[in-house]
Amino acid sequence: MAQTGEIDFDNLHTLLGYHLRRAQVAVFKNFAEAVGAEDISPGLFGALTIIGGNEGLSQNDLAGALALDRSTLVSVIDKLEQRTLVERRKAETDRRRHALHLTDTGRDMLKRLKSKVAEHERNIAKDLSEAERNVLIDLLRRLYGGNGE
Amino acid sequence: MAQTGEIDFDNLHTLLGYHLRRAQVAVFKNFAEAVGAEDISPGLFGALTIIGGNEGLSQNDLAGALALDRSTLVSVIDKLEQRTLVERRKAETDRRRHALHLTDTGRDMLKRLKSKVAEHERNIAKDLSEAERNVLIDLLRRLYGGNGE
DNA sequence: TATTGTTATACTCTATAACTATA
DNA sequence: TATAGTTATAGAGTATAACAATA
């Protein structure tokens, strides 16, 4: 019977989607190790980062930035609020909206996370030169139609 | 209030993980459109491809090849078997094992899928030269430690 | 009427632990 | 004892549809 080492992968190894998934699994695993006891996912870190850079934004704004449905954002903010990292304040100008703010705890955690995530980035790209890393980001961006900064 | 276009993404756009996720979402969406009425996910296509290239392999072999737990493989094969694309045959040499085989329907579908997936690959990489596409695959591979073919 | 946030619900993908049958 | 497959269960991540409050 075929052993794992002898498996014929046919054309699977020629497909971008295959390598994207493998790379993402590896990167997410490394992310989890890098943040360790902070115990946060890339998605929640992204939400925290954007709230930190845009205090007072609405859930709709954040959903748009993260390309998530606004119903999905509810549970994202629920999680962050349960951990006292973020708070919903009633927006005064439009009482349908929640203005999202980091708590002091959230700000501290974000600061710690940023240095851990920076280390994580160096770690996953340790076999790539700085130029190669930039090429990789550029090529990925062209895959999904993202513009430069 | 901040609009989506004015959001400050801070350092998020400098992170490989961010672009990987965005690229993967775009690629998976395009995959779904490309296979259309065949209605199959990249994961099931991968399983089908490996079974097609290794008829008679066991569920354990396949789990290893796809880097999935063997309990996860059960539901993968359940789905493929419910659609009459794959069948479990009792391995004669070791009656604990299931030898996985494509049905005629599965073989036909795999053949159709391969051309649709090839088109999908051309489509997602349409803004990349052949050389750039190869560089991208090489760089992704170095992110997860994958060797050459 | 339209928008913001919420709830209820559901689906996909994945894993761990305990079980059965075989080896 | 160890392995192959299964089941029960759980959790993350995501979406759609319907709803209340507000605009």
How does DSSP classify residue A128? Answer: S
| Residue A94 Cα to chain centre, angstroms | 29
Q: Which residues contact A116 (CB under 8 A, 6 or more apart)?
A: A34, A35, A36, A38
The tally of domains found in chain A comes to 1
C-alpha gyration radius of chain B = 19
Instruction: Write the pLDDT tens digit of every residue in B52-104.
Output: 999 999 999 999 999 999 999 999 999 999 999 999 999 999 999 999 999 99
DSSP 3-state of B41 = coil
B101 within domain boundaries: yes
- What does the alpha-carbon distance between residue A89 and residue A99 come to, in Å, rounded to a whole number? 5
What is the per-residue pLDDT for B1?
Answer: 41
B66 within domain boundaries: yes
Note down the domain range covering B48: 16-144
B45 within domain boundaries: yes
What is the least distance, in Å, from the CA of A82 to any CA of chain B? 24
Cβ contact A69 with chain D strand, < 7 A: yes
Residue A67 · residue B25 · CB < 8 Å: yes
A92 within domain boundaries: yes
CB–CB contacts below 8 A, A to B: 205
User: With 80 as the cut, is the pLDDT of residue A147 above it?
Assistant: no
B4 within domain boundaries: no
Cβ contact B55 with chain D strand, < 7 A: no
Q: Is the pTM of this model over 0.75?
A: yes
- Positions of E strands within B43-133: 86-90, 98-102
B95 within domain boundaries: yes
Which of A48, A101, A139 is the mutation pick for testing B, counting most B CBs within 10 A?
A139
Instruction: Write the pLDDT tens digit of every residue in B16-34.
Output: 999 999 999 999 999 999 9
Query: Tell me, what CATH number does A71's domain have?
Result: 1.10.10.10
B79 within domain boundaries: yes
B27 within domain boundaries: yes
| Residue A40 Cα to chain centre, angstroms | 10
Give the number of C-alpha atoms closer than 13 A to the C-alpha of residue A97, restricted to the C-beta side. 17
Instruction: State which nucleotides on strand D lie below 7 Å from a protein beta carbon.
Output: 3-8, 12-18, 21-23
